[in-house]
């Protein structure tokens, strides 16, 4: 069990550029989540997948954001035409199945700075 892995850990980009983050969940975890965390705030839910199906998207996820999990394993979160307000830490998490009895494991996060 290597934990949830996120890459890159840090990304600085110019406003208007596109960025992509990758998340590798714990092996065999069929649920994968994306959260966003800004300084001084708790994480906010963005979206989640069960296997390859994206089952819910928060209204925080504007049209510039897209997430995929093509084979039900790793996931990518792409932000197009980045804005300064996108600067945040993007957290990925995974769990085995549903139910709060199954612990949700978080990665270390990917920090995005838009300049």
Partner 1 sequence: AQTVTQSQPEMSVQEAETVTLSCTYDTSENNYYLFWYKQPPSRQMILVIRQEAYKQQNATENRFSVNFQKAAKSFSLKISDSQLGDTAMYFCAFMSGGSNYKLTFGKGTLLTVNP
Among 20, 22, 42, 114, which residue interacts with partner 1 (rule: CB under 8 A)?
Answer: 42
- Rounded to an integer, what distance in angstroms lies between the CA atom of residue 5 and that of residue 25? 6
Q: How far is the CB of 89 from partner 1 (least distance, A)?
A: 10
Q: Using CB under 8 A, count the residues that bind partner 1.
A: 25
Of 63, 84, 25, whose CA–CA distance to 34 is shortest?
25
Q: How far is the CB of 68 from partner 1 (least distance, A)?
A: 18
Among 75, 107, 110, 112, which residue interacts with partner 1 (rule: CB under 8 A)?
Answer: 107
- Rounded to an integer, what distance in angstroms lies between the CA atom of residue 41 and that of residue 18? 25
Among 16, 51, 56, 60, which residue interacts with partner 1 (rule: CB under 8 A)?
Answer: 56
Q: Is 10 in a helix, a strand, or coil?
A: strand
CB-CB contact of 19 with 115 (8 Å) = no
Among 1, 59, 70, 100, which residue interacts with partner 1 (rule: CB under 8 A)?
Answer: 100
Q: How far is the CB of 64 from partner 1 (least distance, A)?
A: 22
Q: Is 52 in a helix, a strand, or coil?
A: coil
**Residue 70: what are its φ and ψ, rounded to 5°?**
-60, -35
Interface residues toward partner 1, by CB under 8 A: 3-4, 31, 33, 35, 40-45, 48, 55-56, 91, 98-100, 103-109
């Amino acid at each position: 069990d290597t934990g949830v892995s996120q890459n890159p850990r840090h990304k600085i980009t110019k406003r208007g550029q596109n960025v992509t983050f990758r998340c590798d969940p714990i092996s065999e975890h069929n649920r994968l989540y994306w959260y966003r965390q800004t300084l001084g705030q708790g994480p906010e839910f963005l979206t989640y997948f069960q296997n390859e199906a994206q089952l819910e998207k928060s209204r925080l996820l504007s049209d510039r954001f897209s997430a995929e999990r093509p084979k039900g394993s790793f996931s990518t979160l792409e932000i197009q035409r980045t804005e300064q307000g996108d600067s945040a830490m993007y957290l990925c998490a995974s769990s085995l199945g549903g139910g709060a009895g199954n612990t949700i494991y978080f990665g270390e996060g990917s920090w995005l700075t838009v300049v």
